[in-house]
Amino acid sequence: MKLRYLFFLLLMMQYAPGAASAEVFVHDSVAFSREEILLKAETKKGYFTKGGQVVEFSVNGKSIGSVLSGGDGIAYKIFKAGSAGMYTVTVKSGKDTGSGYIMVLKKGSEIVFVDVEGSLLAAPFAKKPVESSRKTIRKIMDKYPLVYLHFGDIGIKEVREWLNQNKFPVSAVLPWKMGDVFAEIDKKGFRIKAVLGSQVVIDSAGAYKPEVFSFDGQSSSQILNKWQEIEKELK
């Protein structure tokens, strides 16, 4: 678990904004077709929230209106999802912009979850991914919707940028929330097809009986082999 925090700190140092810079961050979400969901964005200045800002939300390039962010810097906007697909949410506040994703699926869809910190690193202290993981994830996404999981509650922006920089396919990035993410997904009527990652993340999904692929205690070569096995075994 300490390695997770080290990875998180390295990302924060690499991607964190300067103390005086402003930014807007959009949270990703997973929804079923025709569901009304609350889009969520945060306005910040450096490391601190910046409340009372006008925030305009757009989905797939079309504005759906503006709201004021609260004192905690968070702005919400209701959106009714359409047909299945990946929607891009863009948020503007003054000169600052941010974007995120809504993964819209049919009820009953089977989802594969990938624990980013627990499965994608080439070595415990590395910032680079296992080379074969990108190829395998693309092949999985040809069959199933895939969601990336971040172990912590903060730092999703940095994890998203790391995935983008390392050319992973675009998808929603959700916080693990001590396993609560699986209960939320199940409640929406989706099925948890598989969980790839550390044992603690896998154990938290046990009640939903997914296929599991653990990376705990693996050497670099074993991790590489594990991804090759997943490509063959996850059908």
Q: What are phi and psi of 131, to 5 degrees?
A: -60, -45
Q: How do 29-32 and 96-105 pair as beta strands? A: parallel
Q: What mean pLDDT do residues 43-51 have? A: 82
Task: List the structure tokens of 93.
Answer: 């506040």
Q: What mean pLDDT do residues 15-28 have? A: 70
**Is residue 35's pLDDT more than 50?**
yes
CATH for 14-105 is 2.60.40.10
Q: What mean pLDDT do residues 134-149 have? A: 95
Share of the chain above pLDDT 70, in %: 84
Confidence of residue 2 (pLDDT cuts 50, 70, 90): very low
Q: Give the tens place of pLDDT for each residue, 57-92.
A: 999 999 999 999 999 999 999 999 999 999 999 999
8 A C-beta contact, residue 113 and residue 194: yes
**Is residue 127's pLDDT more than 90?**
no
pTM of the model: 0.89
Confidence of residue 15 (pLDDT cuts 50, 70, 90): low
Domain ranges of the chain: 14-105, 107-233
CATH 3.40.50.1000 fits 107-233, yes or no: yes
Q: What are phi and psi of 180, to 5 degrees?
A: -60, -25
